[in-house]
């Protein structure tokens, strides 16, 4: 590799003495490639195995902990019957030299109500989009059941041989709905003050940690993903997030993953600071929890610039859809060969599941070209 890129390939040891072979991880991305019942499909295994060669770790797509929090063709970890398929997935990733991290989530008002026909959330507030369903407010008993379901999901991930779990508290899912002043209008101990709005995510984290302490026989990572701001009014502000991460920094947490569309964007509101949100977060708690940054990292030069903020780990997503060998090419000094556009003929060669291919082509995830595929 070229000397300038050596920093990308430095190993990083996380808090539980789990060492990633380099600073690059595969970001979690919706793929809609699981079987209809949520079990792991063969195409899903091939998709991840194809991208596990170079990265230090793969964080899977959000894997639902309860049926009423799931998405169609999404992976499930809601019952023990899912463990054999999850075990095959973890092994396929690990055989290529990457750590396997299972992202666990509940979609709340974003879900497809796969079990009961109704969506649930912190309160009966719909998303701000046309046609969004009005969710039913969760009861105290149901909240406790969901917290327990996250713990059981972590147990299943341990039994399936994963190296860790990532609690998905970002991108508008149920955990974020509880933290959000837009989605959470509760007047009980789960809503109102920012301290109460934090409680759901913190209770899940504590529950997962208890399960890991009881069941893991070797070091097992627990990460947490957040979206630092919302566009809604009211919504989560950068000030809210800084208060939340101050508390997360006191917990047993192996990393904090900051979900952003672009690594270098500054805060919208809540703080008077023109630096990027990631730089602010890194300065705030980076000495306590390893931070993962993501968003708009297309080239190895972009990655180096991102590391200059002090953030120790980077997640890349769309780049690995375009070119599964992104990391390997940089390591071999062949970064000029990295593919930057997607051909209509690439799906089969890149082992991209049908559902994800439809998302890519219909919603402009990546730049498409009309030429023949460059990947052989």
Q: Regarding the domain delimited by 3-363, which CATH topology (the fold level of the hierarchy) does it fall under?
A: TIM Barrel (3.20.20)
**Cα separation, 311 vs 109, whole angstroms:** 32
Print pLDDT tens along the chain (376 aa). Answer: 899 999 999 999 998 789 999 999 999 999 999 999 999 999 999 999 999 999 999 999 999 999 999 999 999 999 999 999 999 999 999 999 999 999 999 999 999 866 667 899 999 999 999 989 999 999 999 999 999 999 999 999 999 999 999 999 999 999 999 999 999 999 999 999 999 999 999 999 999 999 999 999 999 999 999 999 999 999 999 999 999 999 999 999 999 999 999 999 999 999 999 999 999 999 999 999 999 999 999 999 999 999 999 999 999 999 999 999 999 999 999 999 999 998 888 999 999 999 999 988 887 778 777 654 444 3
Query: Residues 376, 359: contact at Cβ < 8 Å?
Result: no
Q: What is the pLDDT of residue 375?
A: 42
Kindly report each contact of residues 210-218 with a partner whose C-beta sits within 8 Å and lies 24 or more positions away, as own/partner.
210/151, 211/151, 211/152, 211/154, 211/155, 211/158, 212/154, 212/158, 215/154, 215/155, 215/158, 215/159, 216/158
Task: Count other Cβ atoms within 10 Å, centred on residue 4.
Answer: 10
> Judging by DSSP bridges, how do beta strands 12-13 and 19-20 pair with one another?
antiparallel
Residue ranges of domains in the chain: 3-363
Model-level pTM? 0.96
Q: What is the pLDDT of residue 172?
A: 97
């Amino acid at each position: 590799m070229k000397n300038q890129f050596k920093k990308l390939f430095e190993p990083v040891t996380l808090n539980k003495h789990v060492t990633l072979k380099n600073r690059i991880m595969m970001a979690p991305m919706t793929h809609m490639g699981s079987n209809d019942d949520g079990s792991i499909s063969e195409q899903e295994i091939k998709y991840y195995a194809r991208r596990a060669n170079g990265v230090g770790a793969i964080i899977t797509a959000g894997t639902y902990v309860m049926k009423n929090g799931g998405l169609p063709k999404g992976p499930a970890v809601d019952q023990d019957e899912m463990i054999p398929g999850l075990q095959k997935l973890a092994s396929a990733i690990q055989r290529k030299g990457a750590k396997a991290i299972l992202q666990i989530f509940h979609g709340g008002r974003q879900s497809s109500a796969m079990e009961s026909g109704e969506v649930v959330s912190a309160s009966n507030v719909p998303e701000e989009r046309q046609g969004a369903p009005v969710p039913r407010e969760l009861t105290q008993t149901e909240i406790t059941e969901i917290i327990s379901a996250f713990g059981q999901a972590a147990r299943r991930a341990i039994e399936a041989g994963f190296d860790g779990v990532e609690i998905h508290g970002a991108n508008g899912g149920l955990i974020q709905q509880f933290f959000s002043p837009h989605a959470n209008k509760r007047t009980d101990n789960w809503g109102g003050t920012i301290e109460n709005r934090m409680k759901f995510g913190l209770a899940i984290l504590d529950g997962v940690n208890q399960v890991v302490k009881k069941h893991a026989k070797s070091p097992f990572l627990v990460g947490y993903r957040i979206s630092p701001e919302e566009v809604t009014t009211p919504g989560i502000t950068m000030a809210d997030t800084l208060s939340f991460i101050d508390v997360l920094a006191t917990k047993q947490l192996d990393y904090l993953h900051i979900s952003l569309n672009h690594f270098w964007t500054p805060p919208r509101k809540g703080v008077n600071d023109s630096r990027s949100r990631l730089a602010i977060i890194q300065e705030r708690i980076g000495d306590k929890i390893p931070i993962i940054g993501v968003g708009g990292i297309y080239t190895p030069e972009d990655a180096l610039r991102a590391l200059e903020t002090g953030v120790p780990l980077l997640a890349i997503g769309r780049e690995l859809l375009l070119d599964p060998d992104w990391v390997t090419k940089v390591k071999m000094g062949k970064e000029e060969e990295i593919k930057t556009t997607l051909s209509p003929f690439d799906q089969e060669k890149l082992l991209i599941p049908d559902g994800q291919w439809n998302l890519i082509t219909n919603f402009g995830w990546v730049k498409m070209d009309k030429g023949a595929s460059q990947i052989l």
